[in-house]
Chain A
Amino acid sequence: AQSVTQLGSHVSVSEGALVLLRCNYSSSVPPYLFWYVQYPNQGLQLLLKYTTGATLVKGINGFEAEFKKSETSFHLTKPSAHMSDAAEYFCAVSRRDRDDKIIFGKGTRLHILP
Protein backbone atom coordinates (compact mmCIF):
# COMPACT_ATOMS: atom_id res chain seq x y z
CA ALA A 1 0.00 0.00 0.00
CA GLN A 2 1.10 3.55 -0.63
CA SER A 3 1.20 6.34 1.91
CA VAL A 4 2.49 9.87 2.28
CA THR A 5 3.79 11.56 5.40
CA GLN A 6 4.17 15.30 5.56
CA LEU A 7 6.29 16.50 8.47
CA GLY A 8 4.76 19.51 10.17
CA SER A 9 1.13 20.44 9.81
CA HIS A 10 2.11 24.11 10.09
CA VAL A 11 5.29 25.79 8.90
CA SER A 12 6.12 29.49 9.33
CA VAL A 13 8.83 31.30 7.42
CA SER A 14 9.72 34.95 7.04
CA GLU A 15 9.15 36.70 3.75
CA GLY A 16 12.28 36.27 1.65
CA ALA A 17 13.46 33.20 3.54
CA LEU A 18 13.85 29.67 2.23
CA VAL A 19 10.75 27.52 2.13
CA LEU A 20 11.20 23.81 2.88
CA LEU A 21 8.20 21.51 3.13
CA ARG A 22 9.01 17.89 3.87
CA CYS A 23 7.40 14.84 2.35
CA ASN A 24 8.24 11.17 2.70
CA TYR A 25 6.43 8.42 0.89
CA SER A 26 6.01 4.70 1.09
CA SER A 27 5.42 2.68 -2.04
CA SER A 28 6.05 -0.92 -3.02
CA VAL A 29 6.43 0.07 -6.67
CA PRO A 30 8.09 3.08 -8.30
CA PRO A 31 5.74 5.98 -7.77
CA TYR A 32 4.68 9.14 -9.43
CA LEU A 33 4.98 12.05 -6.99
CA PHE A 34 3.09 15.32 -6.85
CA TRP A 35 2.85 18.57 -4.95
CA TYR A 36 -0.44 20.43 -4.99
CA VAL A 37 -1.28 23.84 -3.48
CA GLN A 38 -4.67 24.84 -2.11
CA TYR A 39 -5.54 28.46 -1.51
CA PRO A 40 -8.40 29.25 0.89
CA ASN A 41 -11.78 28.10 -0.41
CA GLN A 42 -10.28 26.94 -3.68
CA GLY A 43 -9.53 23.63 -5.32
CA LEU A 44 -6.12 22.09 -5.65
CA GLN A 45 -3.64 23.32 -8.18
CA LEU A 46 -0.77 21.17 -9.39
CA LEU A 47 2.60 22.73 -8.53
CA LEU A 48 4.81 20.03 -9.99
CA LYS A 49 5.09 16.30 -10.51
CA TYR A 50 7.83 13.72 -10.86
CA THR A 51 7.29 10.90 -13.32
CA THR A 52 10.65 9.89 -14.70
CA GLY A 53 14.04 11.26 -15.66
CA ALA A 54 15.66 14.18 -13.86
CA THR A 55 15.12 13.94 -10.13
CA LEU A 56 15.01 17.71 -9.60
CA VAL A 57 11.63 18.91 -10.79
CA LYS A 58 10.80 22.55 -11.35
CA GLY A 59 7.25 23.74 -10.94
CA ILE A 60 5.22 26.88 -11.06
CA ASN A 61 5.70 29.96 -8.87
CA GLY A 62 9.40 29.25 -8.33
CA PHE A 63 8.91 25.96 -6.47
CA GLU A 64 10.96 22.85 -7.03
CA ALA A 65 11.22 19.39 -5.51
CA GLU A 66 13.83 16.67 -5.55
CA PHE A 67 13.04 12.98 -5.72
CA LYS A 68 15.47 11.04 -3.52
CA LYS A 69 14.83 7.35 -3.88
CA SER A 70 17.31 6.34 -1.16
CA GLU A 71 15.53 8.58 1.34
CA THR A 72 12.02 7.99 -0.07
CA SER A 73 11.58 11.75 0.04
CA PHE A 74 10.18 14.44 -2.21
CA HIS A 75 10.71 17.70 -0.32
CA LEU A 76 9.40 20.97 -1.74
CA THR A 77 11.56 24.09 -1.71
CA LYS A 78 11.50 27.69 -2.80
CA PRO A 79 14.54 29.97 -2.35
CA SER A 80 12.66 33.08 -1.30
CA ALA A 81 9.16 33.09 0.23
CA HIS A 82 6.55 35.57 -0.89
CA MET A 83 3.43 36.58 1.00
CA SER A 84 1.32 35.09 -1.79
CA ASP A 85 2.79 31.65 -1.03
CA ALA A 86 0.67 31.39 2.11
CA ALA A 87 -1.54 28.36 1.46
CA GLU A 88 -1.88 24.66 2.21
CA TYR A 89 0.45 22.29 0.39
CA PHE A 90 -0.25 18.64 -0.26
CA CYS A 91 2.26 15.99 -1.22
CA ALA A 92 0.78 13.06 -3.11
CA VAL A 93 1.75 9.75 -4.68
CA SER A 94 0.31 7.38 -7.24
CA ARG A 95 1.41 4.01 -8.56
CA ARG A 96 3.01 3.82 -11.97
CA ASP A 97 1.07 0.69 -12.77
CA ARG A 98 -2.21 2.05 -11.46
CA ASP A 99 -1.81 5.73 -11.86
CA ASP A 100 -5.35 7.00 -11.81
CA LYS A 101 -5.67 7.02 -8.02
CA ILE A 102 -3.80 9.67 -6.08
CA ILE A 103 -2.97 9.23 -2.39
CA PHE A 104 -2.60 12.53 -0.54
CA GLY A 105 -0.74 13.51 2.58
CA LYS A 106 -2.52 15.45 5.32
CA GLY A 107 -1.13 18.75 4.16
CA THR A 108 1.16 21.45 5.51
CA ARG A 109 -0.14 24.95 6.04
CA LEU A 110 2.52 27.49 5.13
CA HIS A 111 2.45 30.83 6.96
CA ILE A 112 4.53 33.73 5.71
CA LEU A 113 5.68 36.25 8.32
CA PRO A 114 6.23 39.86 7.24
Chain B
Amino acid sequence: NAGVMQNPRHLVRRRGQEARLRCSPMKGHSHVYWYRQLPEEGLKFMVYLQKENIIDESGMPKERFSAEFPKEGPSILRIQQVVRGDSAAYFCASSQTRGLGLEDTQYFGPGTRLTVL
Protein backbone atom coordinates (compact mmCIF):
# COMPACT_ATOMS: atom_id res chain seq x y z
CA ASN B 1 0.00 0.00 0.00
CA ALA B 2 1.77 3.11 -1.22
CA GLY B 3 1.96 6.03 1.13
CA VAL B 4 1.02 9.63 0.43
CA MET B 5 2.71 10.77 -2.77
CA GLN B 6 3.71 14.32 -3.51
CA ASN B 7 5.26 15.77 -6.62
CA PRO B 8 7.40 17.41 -7.48
CA ARG B 9 9.71 16.96 -4.52
CA HIS B 10 11.54 20.16 -5.37
CA LEU B 11 10.18 23.09 -7.31
CA VAL B 12 11.98 26.28 -8.28
CA ARG B 13 10.02 29.27 -9.51
CA ARG B 14 10.83 32.87 -10.27
CA ARG B 15 8.80 35.65 -8.68
CA GLY B 16 5.49 36.10 -10.45
CA GLN B 17 5.26 32.55 -11.78
CA GLU B 18 2.72 29.96 -10.75
CA ALA B 19 3.45 26.91 -8.61
CA ARG B 20 1.36 23.74 -8.72
CA LEU B 21 1.88 21.12 -6.05
CA ARG B 22 0.27 17.70 -6.30
CA CYS B 23 -0.75 15.25 -3.65
CA SER B 24 -2.04 11.73 -4.11
CA PRO B 25 -3.52 10.40 -0.86
CA MET B 26 -3.14 6.89 0.40
CA LYS B 27 -5.43 4.35 -1.21
CA GLY B 28 -8.86 4.49 0.39
CA HIS B 29 -8.32 7.93 1.91
CA SER B 30 -10.73 10.67 0.90
CA HIS B 31 -9.57 13.40 3.30
CA VAL B 32 -6.60 15.58 2.40
CA TYR B 33 -4.83 18.28 4.39
CA TRP B 34 -2.17 20.76 3.29
CA TYR B 35 0.40 22.21 5.67
CA ARG B 36 3.21 24.71 5.17
CA GLN B 37 6.53 24.56 6.99
CA LEU B 38 8.65 27.68 7.02
CA PRO B 39 12.34 27.42 7.99
CA GLU B 40 12.80 26.82 11.73
CA GLU B 41 9.03 26.59 12.20
CA GLY B 42 6.55 23.85 12.80
CA LEU B 43 3.90 22.90 10.30
CA LYS B 44 1.02 25.30 9.90
CA PHE B 45 -2.38 24.06 8.75
CA MET B 46 -3.55 25.57 5.48
CA VAL B 47 -6.58 23.73 4.15
CA TYR B 48 -8.62 20.57 4.60
CA LEU B 49 -10.45 19.01 1.67
CA GLN B 50 -12.68 16.07 1.05
CA LYS B 51 -13.40 14.85 -2.45
CA GLU B 52 -14.68 17.86 -4.45
CA ASN B 53 -15.22 19.92 -1.30
CA ILE B 54 -13.20 22.39 0.72
CA ILE B 55 -14.05 21.74 4.35
CA ASP B 56 -11.79 24.23 6.11
CA GLU B 57 -9.52 26.80 4.46
CA SER B 58 -8.98 28.94 7.55
CA GLY B 59 -5.19 28.63 7.27
CA MET B 60 -4.96 29.56 3.64
CA PRO B 61 -3.82 33.06 2.64
CA LYS B 62 -6.74 34.94 1.15
CA GLU B 63 -4.98 35.82 -2.07
CA ARG B 64 -2.97 33.85 -4.63
CA PHE B 65 -3.50 30.46 -2.93
CA SER B 66 -6.11 27.91 -3.92
CA ALA B 67 -6.65 24.20 -3.43
CA GLU B 68 -8.79 21.54 -5.00
CA PHE B 69 -9.40 17.83 -4.66
CA PRO B 70 -11.32 16.67 -7.73
CA LYS B 71 -13.36 13.53 -8.00
CA GLU B 72 -10.60 11.98 -10.06
CA GLY B 73 -6.91 12.68 -9.68
CA PRO B 74 -4.67 14.21 -7.08
CA SER B 75 -5.26 17.18 -4.84
CA ILE B 76 -3.65 20.36 -6.18
CA LEU B 77 -2.32 23.31 -4.20
CA ARG B 78 -1.91 26.25 -6.52
CA ILE B 79 0.07 29.39 -5.76
CA GLN B 80 -0.26 32.20 -8.26
CA GLN B 81 2.30 34.99 -8.71
CA VAL B 82 4.72 33.50 -6.21
CA VAL B 83 6.82 35.75 -3.99
CA ARG B 84 10.02 34.98 -2.06
CA GLY B 85 8.01 34.58 1.14
CA ASP B 86 6.24 31.57 -0.37
CA SER B 87 9.50 29.60 -0.20
CA ALA B 88 8.78 26.75 2.17
CA ALA B 89 8.12 23.04 2.40
CA TYR B 90 4.53 22.13 1.66
CA PHE B 91 3.27 18.89 3.13
CA CYS B 92 0.17 16.98 2.29
CA ALA B 93 -1.48 14.50 4.64
CA SER B 94 -4.39 12.16 4.17
CA SER B 95 -6.73 10.23 6.42
CA GLN B 96 -9.46 7.69 6.01
CA THR B 97 -12.02 9.53 8.09
CA ARG B 98 -12.45 13.03 9.38
CA GLY B 99 -11.54 12.29 12.95
CA LEU B 100 -8.10 11.69 14.37
CA GLY B 101 -9.10 10.08 17.59
CA LEU B 102 -9.11 6.44 18.38
CA GLU B 103 -9.33 4.96 14.95
CA ASP B 104 -7.57 7.23 12.51
CA THR B 105 -4.51 9.35 11.95
CA GLN B 106 -3.10 11.69 9.36
CA TYR B 107 -0.38 10.19 7.18
CA PHE B 108 2.09 12.66 5.73
CA GLY B 109 3.78 12.76 2.37
CA PRO B 110 7.47 13.61 1.85
CA GLY B 111 6.68 17.23 0.99
CA THR B 112 7.41 19.62 -1.87
CA ARG B 113 10.17 22.12 -1.26
CA LEU B 114 9.36 25.31 -3.10
CA THR B 115 12.11 27.83 -3.75
CA VAL B 116 11.19 31.20 -5.18
CA LEU B 117 14.07 33.05 -6.80
Contact = CB atoms under 8 A, between A and B. Distances in A.
A and B associate = yes
Interface of A: 4, 9, 32, 36, 41-46, 49, 51-52, 90, 92, 94, 96, 99-107
B48 A101 contact: yes
Given A102-B45, A104-B44, A52 B91 contact: no
A12 to B, nearest CB: 17
Interface size class of B (residues with CB under 8 A): 20 to 34
Contacts of B41: 106-107
B108 A107 contact: no
B76 interface: no
A49 B98 contact: no
B102 A51 contact: yes
Contacts of A104: 35, 42-44
Contacts of B56: 100-101
A106 B44 CA distance: 10
Given A43-B4, A44-B108, A46-B105, A99 B100 contact: yes
A51 B101 contact: yes
B63 interface: no
B111 A43 contact: yes
Contacts of A105: 42
Contacts of A96: 101
B42 A100 contact: no
B108 A43 contact: yes
A102 B109 contact: no
Nearest to A42: B110
Nearest to B45: A101
A102 B100 contact: yes
16 contacts: A9-B40, A32-B100, A42-B111, A43-B108, A44-B43, A46-B106, A52-B102, A90-B42, A90-B43, A100-B31, A100-B56, A100-B95, A100-B98, A104-B43, A104-B44, A106-B40
Contacts of B111: 41-43
Nearest to B92: A43
Contact of B109 (A36, A43, A94): A43
A90 B41 CA distance: 10
A45 B48 CA distance: 19
